Amino acid sequence: MTSSTPETNHPDLWLPDWPWPEADSHKHKRGSLGVVTGPAASTGAARLAARAGLRIGAGLATLFCPPSATLVNAAHETAVMIKPFSTPDALAELASSSKCVLIGPAAGVDSTTRENTLEVLKHAGSSVLDADALTVFKDQPDALFNAITLPAVITPHDGEFSRIFPGLLDQYTRAEAAAIAAERSGAVVLLKGNETLIAAPDGRLTVNRHASPFLATAGSGDVLAGMIAGLMAQGMEAHRAACAGAWCHGEVARRVGPGLISEDLPDALPGLLSEFYARRA
Ligand SMILES: NC(=O)C1=CN([C@@H]2O[C@H](COP(=O)(O)OP(=O)(O)OC[C@H]3O[C@@H](n4cnc5c(N)ncnc54)[C@H](O)[C@@H]3O)[C@@H](O)[C@H]2O)[C@@H](O)CC1
Ligand SMILES: Nc1ncnc2c1ncn2[C@@H]1O[C@H](COP(=O)(O)OP(=O)(O)O)[C@@H](O)[C@H]1O
């Protein structure tokens, strides 16, 4: 177990690795992101995430949805694409052609989400797991950890963290708990809160305090997961992508300020990204 003090998150840690498009880039080169939606009445969280992933630079963002959710998704989206799937095998095929897949936001706490999550972990180039994709492993967290063999980020809030790492938050500091969780799971663990801990299995440990209390609103975590997945779709290394996502999420929240709703966050990214772009070497 590490007892080291976390490094404070700052753009110097990841801005040099920002995946800017080259002059000869095209959308496929910039990286494809897939986001799995829940059934028809539970699709908003995944749409927030997909929009965030596209805004942060993924060349293609596609919602992978059960057939029942096709029309509701299609009615809401324009730049984000929609691909329905009916079975875990069909999702596996879609995941195989994605550089990163995000699953969990409003996916549903049921065996379908569990099977779909295992397919994503096996077939996507990299994965981000949030919300229900973590909760479904409450009774058997080792089944989740054993399936993590490729780059993966998990983004639990305290409730979700305690379901898959029972007792850690009672026995250790948040920094220690996140570090142990990363080592145990093999994933980068981003433990959300007003101070967010970001731990990698190799021992890197970062704390993000660049945030806003106005992030305490429904769907803001879904946007964060989408930002991280969008950066991983562009090839950014998992721990750096998680740190970059957390900082940018906090910065756009500060810019929006009082009255913030989650929809505002992705659309505040271009202003921030333009400042980053002007600073590049
Ligand atoms: N627009 C949408 O469609 C949204 C859908 N959402 C989805 O709604 C489902 C339920 O998510 P929730 O996160 O509300 O609920 P959870 O199913 O994770 O359970 C919430 C419970 O967890 C415990 N908890 C402990 N620490 C917590 C913390 N820091 N934050 C929140 N809960 C904490 C509390 O006891 C709380 O009652 C998920 O599938 C989620 O993705 C939410 O993301 C909100 C937005
Ligand atoms: N008081 C706060 N100060 C700073 N950030 C916060 C605060 N409350 C919540 N957040 C951030 O908002 C996000 C909430 O995510 P989450 O709990 O998953 O919500 P949701 O499921 O509604 O998307 C996380 O990134 C968390 O760090």
How confident is the model at residue 280, as a pLDDT? 86
The domain in which residue 274 lies consists of 26-279
Residue 50 inside a domain? The answer is yes
Numbered residues of the known binding site for AMP = 192-196, 221
Ligand 1 nearest atom to the CA of residue 162, by list position: 25
Q: Is the CB of 211 under 6 A from ligand 2?
A: yes
How many angstroms separate the alpha carbon of residue 211 from the centre of ligand 2? 9
Ligand 1 nearest atom to the CA of residue 158, by list position: 26
Ligand 1 nearest atom to the CA of residue 219, by list position: 45
Residue 15 inside a domain? The answer is no
| Regions in the chain scoring below 70 on pLDDT | 1-4, 281
204 contacts: CB under 8 Å, gap ≥ 6: 7, 239
Residue 6 inside a domain? The answer is no
How confident is the model at residue 213, as a pLDDT? 98
Residue 182 inside a domain? The answer is yes
Hey, how many other C-beta atoms are within 10 angstroms of the C-beta on 61?
29
How many angstroms separate the alpha carbon of residue 232 from the centre of ligand 2? 21
Residue 21 inside a domain? The answer is no
Q: Is the CB of 160 under 6 A from ligand 2?
A: no
H/E run at residue 267: helix 264-267
Total count of domains within the chain: 1
How confident is the model at residue 220, as a pLDDT? 98
CATH of the domain at 82: 3.40.1190.20
Residue 10 inside a domain? The answer is no
Residue 14 inside a domain? The answer is no
Residue 71 inside a domain? The answer is yes
